[in-house]
Chains A and B, each alone.
Chain A
Amino acid sequence: MTKPKLALNWTASCGGCEIAVLEIKEKILDVANIFDIVFWPCVMDFKYSDLEKFKSKEIDLCLFNGAIRTSEHEHLAKLLREKSKVLVAYGACACEGGIPGLANQFDKESIFQRVYVEIPSNQNKDKKFPQENNDMPEGKVQIPAFYDTVKSLKQIVPVEYFIPGCPPLEKTTWKALETVVKGELPPVGSYLGAGDKTVCEECPRKKEEKKIKRFYRSHLKLPEPEKCLLEQGIICAGPATRSGCEGACLKANLPCWGCYGPAQGVVDVGAKFMSALASVIDSDDEKEINKILEGIVDPIGTFYRFGLAGSILRRRKISQEKKG
């Protein structure tokens, strides 16, 4: 019997997800025993042309990590979709846009301006930017187009499953792989390896009544070790975030950042997080409320740290005057 084929790929991501796959330690050998790894550019030498040679749906499982930032990413997403029976968005970037999605507060022009001109360590007097088509002595050279908007994988191609996390924890990855190997495939759109409640449900901290007079960002206050962080005024994404990590950060005395994405049934993670945060404010006075809310310095970065690209509004408005 031939082994089922496994492909792994990365696009706009930090590479942490590739390491997260290896975090299953010696079990990676089991994965190699069960699957025939046919494409994994991070680990072994593969060319895109190898991928193109596969027949449609010949690859059984594809774990795709990273958001869609350039035309190359889009091409790979479409190619892997065509060649794979089951396409899985692996990690926060593929699921919801992740950290790269925060760039949706800007557009291509302003990002290029910042990166290639304004950064103090740059020397770019002629204001040269990367061009998609370049005439070189060796001939025409093309580089991928850079998009204005970062997208999640499911905004480009249909996706069967999601494995959340930045990066997905070892047990999440392993549970997800087990589900697939056993052939017990849940309904399309399910999250593999994670829970269907919120992080608060798994958080070991003691929870009483939440009433706070001031918000603290996590660097402003040393938290008490056993009390709920929100009760101490520390901004924690637990109430809006999917369970599955068993409160890993909270056990380390850090607030939840929200990397497991929106909890089951939540459409917009930022809206839910904001709603939860606002309801713990202990004041009925408009002025005082406004003062307490000054503690939230960067609303988009706080509420949509991992989910801006996958949210309802998806990005900041692109200025029309600039676009002409």
Chain B
Amino acid sequence: MNQKGFEPKIIGFLCTWCSYTGADMAGTSRMKYPSNIVIVRVMCSGRIDPTFVLKAFQDGADGVLIAGCHPGDCHYINGNMKTMRRYPLMVKLLEGFGIEKERIRLEWVSAAEGEKFSTVVKDFTAKVKKIGPLNWSVQAGVSKEASSPGLKEARL
């Protein structure tokens, strides 16, 4: 596998109240972090359905970062606790699919932790870069097929 010049594609699901604001903080403070991360803002880290993560990997992501408020700080009282419970299970499941656990990461980033966000993204990008591309549709030998293409109505 040619890993030279490989730039991983990383999807970051950030909660709007803490982590997204934290990422903003990194930006306004002129802190640098790799542009490999594509940020998707969600209302709460508890809103991150495991379907989103699977879909990201299917569509070609090499890594997925989930970030939310620190435990106890959730805007919705306990949304991030749901994430905390879901995350280890998600890692277990992905390992079952043959996706390395280093490709997914959960971090608590508060609105003030711009620096932490930038460090996390740098570190995560470097680690994913080291493992190499995931390229799911090729690795698993499956291409995406649309369900029921070309059928508009059924007639007897």
Contact = CB atoms under 8 A, between A and B. Distances in A.
A159 B84 contact: no
Interface stretch (A23-31, A128-136, A194-202, A278-286): A278-286
Contact of B141 (A149, A158, A180, A284): A149
B156 A154 contact: no
- B contact residues, range: 35 or more
A274 B151 contact: no
B5 interface: no
A160 interface: yes
A289 B97 contact: no
B99 interface: yes
Contact of A315 (B71, B142, B155): B142
Nearest to B55: A312
B93 A312 contact: no
Nearest to A107: B141
A314 B156 contact: no
Given A188-B154, A284-B84, A316-B97, A271 B49 contact: yes
Contact of A188 (B85, B86, B151): B151
Contacts of A105: 96
Given A271-B50, A284-B81, A85 B97 contact: no
A19 interface: no
Given A158-B151, A275-B50, A312-B58, A318 B96 contact: no
A316 to B, nearest CB: 5
Given A271-B54, A274-B50, A312-B58, A188 B139 contact: no
Contacts of A290: 88
Interface of B: 1, 49-51, 53-55, 57-58, 71, 78, 81-82, 84-86, 88-90, 92-93, 96-99, 136, 139-142, 145, 147-156
30 contacts: A4-B156, A86-B156, A155-B145, A160-B151, A185-B153, A188-B148, A188-B152, A188-B154, A189-B148, A267-B55, A268-B50, A270-B93, A271-B49, A274-B86, A274-B90, A277-B89, A279-B85, A283-B85, A289-B85, A290-B88, A293-B92, A296-B92, A311-B54, A313-B54, A313-B97, A314-B140, A315-B141, A316-B97, A317-B99, A320-B1
